[in-house]
Amino acid sequence: MKIKVKIHDGSSQEKIEKISNDLYEVWIRKKPVEGKANVEMIKVLKKYFNKEVKIVLGLTSREKIVEIGDCILTE
């Protein structure tokens, strides 16, 4: 499944808001320095969906296309 994500970096909180079936807004604390915001966003989305997450398009943009993959197996 692919979704569109709009990032709000440098926020005082971390949260995810579902705008529509394929559009989400994500607030993260990290600033976009050396890819730290992307790493933080992936962690937040992995926790939210409990699935693997990969950025498909928009590595240097606030608006990204993200692929949500198979379930993470926990033992």
What is this structure's pTM? Answer: 0.86
How does 35-45 read in b/e, with b if 16+ C-beta sit within 10 Å? eebbebbbebb
2-71 — its CATH code?
A: 3.30.1200.10
pLDDT of residue 7: 96
Confidence class of residue 72 from pLDDT cuts 50, 70 and 90?
low
Nearest to 5 by CA among 61, 73, 51, 75: 61
Each domain of the chain, given as residue ranges in start order, spans: 2-71
pLDDT of residue 67: 95
The model's pLDDT over 19-53, given as tens digits with 9 standing for 90+, comes to 999 999 999 999 989 989 999 999 999 999 999 99
pLDDT of residue 75: 46
